[in-house]
């Protein structure tokens, strides 16, 4: 009896803030012939992931792999062709425009190009207040207090708040974009290359600001980036994307220490600043050729034309993203062989090994 009672009163596993399952997006292209079928481009194919409150999930990959499309789908800037998006327990993939308007406060976007994202005719404080006015948050007097507090938090208080975008530096403009997104007190923020257009020194300031705000406000970040040296400093988990699919999802430190998927290993090995900190480097893996066109993907594993571990199985069967005992998920028929090859090149798994440099 006591065992049954204990089981009944055991707390449930916390529900993720965002749960995406089987997400896909296909774009129809102009016909190439009068009577032929309309060609399709698959930008995102069967993407699934969870994101907890206060967590940062980074999505990395080459340009054109579908990273930004995933963020746009989560924010309903694009409609999914398939799949479900559950935010805070609610299915948003089937929500109408009225419901999305109510939910818009909870999901915000930090744009990559702050200069294009800001209205040149409005001051910074007017633009930050605009979202509060649209959603009718608080009174006019309270809105002024909220705007002043948020601008102070991002380092744009005082006279800077009354300036126009062209009177600010690039880093200050990006801080204004961040303030505009966070003043609504969202639960989830999609950061689409938020510091790519900034100088390295300014990047560090903005990244530190994002981390401080996350700790203070409990924000969840979907961090889209191609900069692996930056991702390893901000992410809790990393999803590696190739040709519209997630090929490896792992804890940040585990992925950078020993990537299992050949494509993840090739990405990390190509960036010295992104390699392991444990006294050794990830051996670069050379991939031959260029990524295939998403309009005409290869059969089986999409990486097999470029992968040195490819076999006949890879050419015929698409590997599923499967969870492993070490906590990561990998979509590769020969992940163990790729990972073992990298560990052997690093000199084993002992963290005390001396640093090795590979060409």
What pLDDT score does 315 carry?
94
Q: How far apart are CA 74 and CA 190, in angstroms?
A: 9
What pLDDT score does 220 carry?
95
Instruction: Report the run of H or E that residue 182 belongs to, with start and end.
Output: helix 170-182
154's CB contacts (< 8 A; 6+ apart) are 175, 176, 178, 179, 182, 209, 213
CA-to-CA dists, residue 208 to 130, 180, 213, 249, angstroms: 26, 17, 9, 24
Q: How far apart are CA 182 and CA 176, in angstroms?
A: 10
345's CB contacts (< 8 A; 6+ apart) are 283, 356, 358
What pLDDT score does 305 carry?
93
CA angle 117, 120, 125 (to 5 degrees): 85
Q: Where are the domains of the chain?
A: 18-26+39-234, 259-346
User: The whole model's pTM is what?
Assistant: 0.86
Residues of the chain with pLDDT under 70: 1-14, 273-281, 343-359
Neighbouring CB atoms inside 10 A of 291's CB total: 19
pLDDT tens string 6-15: 444 444 566 8
Closest CA to 192 of 93, 108, 105, 85: 108
Say if domain 18-26+39-234 classifies as CATH 3.40.50.10140. no
What pLDDT score does 273 carry?
63
What pLDDT score does 262 carry?
94
CA-to-CA dists, residue 175 to 18, 71, 131, 160, 204, angstroms: 25, 20, 16, 11, 12
174's CB contacts (< 8 A; 6+ apart) are 114, 194, 195, 197, 198, 202, 206
Q: How far apart are CA 291 and CA 269, in angstroms?
A: 17
């Amino acid at each position: 009896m006591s065992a049954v009672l204990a089981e009944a009163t055991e707390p449930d596993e916390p529900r993720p803030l965002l749960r995406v399952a089987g997400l896909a997006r296909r774009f129809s292209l102009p016909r190439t012939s009068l009577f032929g079928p309309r060609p399709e481009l698959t930008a995102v194919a069967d993407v699934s992931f969870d994101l907890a409150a206060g967590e940062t999930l980074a999505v990395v990959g080459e340009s054109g792999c579908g990273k930004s499309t995933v963020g746009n789908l989560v924010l309903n800037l694009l409609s999914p062709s398939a799949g479900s998006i559950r935010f805070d327990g609610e299915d948003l993939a089937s929500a109408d425009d009225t419901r999305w308007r109510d939910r818009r406060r909870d999901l915000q976007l930090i744009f990559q190009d702050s200069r294009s994202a800001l209205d040149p005719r409005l001051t910074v404080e007017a633009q930050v207040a605009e979202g509060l006015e649209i959603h009718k948050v608080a009174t006019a007097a309270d809105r002024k207090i909220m705007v002043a507090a948020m601008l102070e938090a991002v380092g744009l208080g005082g006279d800077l708040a009354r300036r126009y975008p062209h009177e600010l530096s690039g880093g200050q403009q990006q801080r204004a974009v961040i303030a505009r997104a966070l003043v609504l007190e969202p639960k989830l923020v999609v950061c689409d290359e938020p510091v790519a257009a900034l100088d390295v020194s300014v990047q560090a300031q903005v990244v530190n600001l994002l981390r401080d705000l996350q700790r203070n406000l409990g924000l969840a970040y979907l961090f889209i980036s191609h900069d692996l040296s930056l991702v390893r400093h901000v992410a809790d988990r990393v999803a590696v994307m190739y040709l519209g699919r997630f090929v490896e999802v792992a804890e940040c430190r585990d992925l950078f220490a020993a990537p299992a998927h050949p494509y993840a290993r090739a990405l990390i090995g190509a960036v010295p600043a992104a390699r392991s900190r444990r006294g050794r480097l990830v051996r670069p893996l050379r991939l031959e050729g260029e990524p295939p066109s998403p309009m005409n993907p290869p059969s089986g594993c999409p990486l097999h034309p470029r992968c040195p571990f490819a076999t006949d199985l890879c050419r015929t069967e698409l590997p599923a993203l499967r969870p492993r005992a070490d906590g990561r998920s990998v979509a590769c028929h020969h992940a163990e062989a790729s990972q073992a090859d990298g560990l052997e090149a690093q000199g084993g798994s002992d963290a005390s090994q001396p640093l090795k440099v590979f060409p």
